[in-house]
Amino acid sequence: MVLQSIPWVTCSVKRTLTTASVLLAVVLVAFSALLVGLGLGSHATTRNLIRDALPPGLAGAFLGQEQDFPLEQEVLDKLDDTFYRPVDEASLEDDAVRGLLQGLGDDYTNYLSPEEYTNFQERAGGSYSGVGMTVEMKGAFITVVSTFKGSPAAGGGVKPGDIILAVNGEDTKGLSLDEVVTRIKGKEGTQVTLKVYHVPPGSVGPEESPRDGAHLPEGGTLQELTLTRKTITIPVVESEIVKAGSHNVAHIRLITFSEKSGERLRRAVETALAVDKADAIVFDLRNNGGGLLEEAVDVASIFIPGGVIVTTEGLHSPKQVYEARGNAVPPVPVYVLVNGFSASASEIVAGALKDTKRATIVGEKTFGKGLVQTILSLSNGGALKVTTAVYRTPSGADINKKGIEPDVLAPDDPATTAVDETLDKALALIAAGK
């Protein structure tokens, strides 16, 4: 017989078939066990029985669980077995992530839930439903940076520097910036109640300080405001022509660094120069809390013909140099207005224009946020907003928590609402040819 004449082949074939059958069986059993384990593992009692019966590594694989945070899982298991009401593990997971990030001591590195991430994307896109103000974390407090003209916040008397202490009765202490923003936003026509601390005149809010050791500025007043939310279209550019002696001056205010802000500002500047025959520009960045880094580079490139705009670098972010894009407008005199709420992207632009001596900076010291955040999407639809780098001005200055000092100190007095001392100072400089 053929098979008898070559027995080694026969034995090899039988062993191969047997091995394949065993492997297939093992795979099927393992897959079935995994499915059963995932089902059983959703209950604390069965999870504990399985974990006690199997070696740690095999138990983790069987239950479909990672072993990177065994203490966290142990706590969840004990809560499942002992807590007096059902445990919402998804909510606890969010809180655990927030607590983990809080340990970094960086107010700008935050977890965004799926809802918060959606809200963040809406704000970057230029419209949302809310009360029409921008806020920033300053020390321990959620501080108002600006309010939009005609918005519920502006109509309710909220001003830059005011501090949001509570939203709908919930204390903002311990909440991230994005958590507070999500609570303030909501469906158009609905109401939100804010507990607002109005800082005393002339104050720019709380000083930078550790989150647990900050105190409200003395002399302010407390107010509870109920505002009706509406659809807010974030304004980007406001422009007017004013006189400074014999000069036509374009006073152009940039309100936010959202998508295409650079394009809109360029159109406003080019129109002012070509159509309105402006021979000087007052570029107003007061109360501009910043926005997108790329837009900041685009904005600075309107005035700076070439060279470095900003440099970023972090532990895991290689040094990156952003240079002017080219096609700058004609070199007319430029005066940049800043105050204590000119932050982030505003400081990138002001720092670049100052260091390259392309503009004169007028006003007050800026906010001092020299950090770059990167958005990292997560599998649950949320995201991490992570501080990935520090940015430096063209001269190499790190302005984080320091701000940018103006070339000409000229604060606007909030008590003289009919007079803009900062703008008037810039116009006086233009009239005098300085």
CA distance 251 to 68: 57
Do both 154 and 215 map to the same domain? Answer: yes
Which residues 6+ apart lie within 8 Å of 367 measured at CB? 136, 138, 145, 289, 340, 341, 342, 343, 344, 346, 347, 403
Q: Quick check: 226 and 258 in contact, CB under 8 A?
A: no
Looking at the 3D structure of the chain, how many domains does it have? 3
Q: Which of 204, 233, 262 is the last residue of a domain?
A: 233
Do both 164 and 300 map to the same domain? Answer: no
Catalytic residue flag (residue 344): yes
97 in a domain, yes or no? no
Query: Backbone phi, then psi, for 123, in 5-degree steps?
Result: -65, -40
CATH number of domain containing 282 = 3.90.226.10
Catalytic residue flag (residue 355): yes
Do both 282 and 174 map to the same domain? Answer: no
Domain of 312, in residue numbers: 237-431
96 in a domain, yes or no? no
Q: Which of 233, 259, 291 is the last residue of a domain?
A: 233
Q: Quick check: 292 and 345 in contact, CB under 8 A?
A: yes
What 8-state DSSP symbol labels residue 200?
P
Q: Which of 179, 204, 233 is the last residue of a domain?
A: 233
CATH number of domain containing 195 = 2.30.42.10
Catalytic residue among 178, 355, 412, 420, which?
355
CA distance 137 to 140: 7
CA distance 298 to 406: 22
Considering the entire predicted model, what is its pTM? 0.74
Do both 259 and 382 map to the same domain? Answer: yes
Do both 251 and 376 map to the same domain? Answer: yes
Question: Which residues are paired to 282 by β-bridges?
Answer: 251, 335
Do both 149 and 226 map to the same domain? Answer: yes
Residues recorded for the chain: 434
Catalytic residue among 151, 176, 344, 346, which?
344
Do both 160 and 281 map to the same domain? Answer: no
Q: Along the 434 residues of the chain, how does pLDDT read in single tens digits? A: 332 222 233 233 333 334 444 444 434 444 444 444 444 444 444 444 444 544 444 445 444 544 456 788 888 888 888 999 998 887 888 888 888 888 898 888 989 988 888 878 876 666 788 999 989 888 789 999 889 889 999 999 999 889 999 999 999 998 888 889 999 999 999 999 999 999 887 665 555 443 444 678 888 899 999 999 999 887 899 999 999 999 999 999 999 898 899 999 999 999 999 999 999 999 999 999 898 999 999 999 999 999 999 999 999 999 999 999 999 999 999 999 999 999 999 999 999 999 999 999 999 999 999 999 999 999 989 999 999 999 999 999 999 999 999 999 999 998 888 899 999 999 999 999 87
Do both 120 and 69 map to the same domain? Answer: no
Catalytic residue among 185, 369, 385, 425, which?
369
Assign residue 277 a region (left: φ > 0; alpha: ψ between -120 and 50; beta: otherwise): left
Do both 59 and 122 map to the same domain? Answer: no
Catalytic residue flag (residue 319): no
88 in a domain, yes or no? no
SS3 276: coil
Query: Backbone phi, then psi, for 173, in 5-degree steps?
Result: -60, 130
89 in a domain, yes or no? no
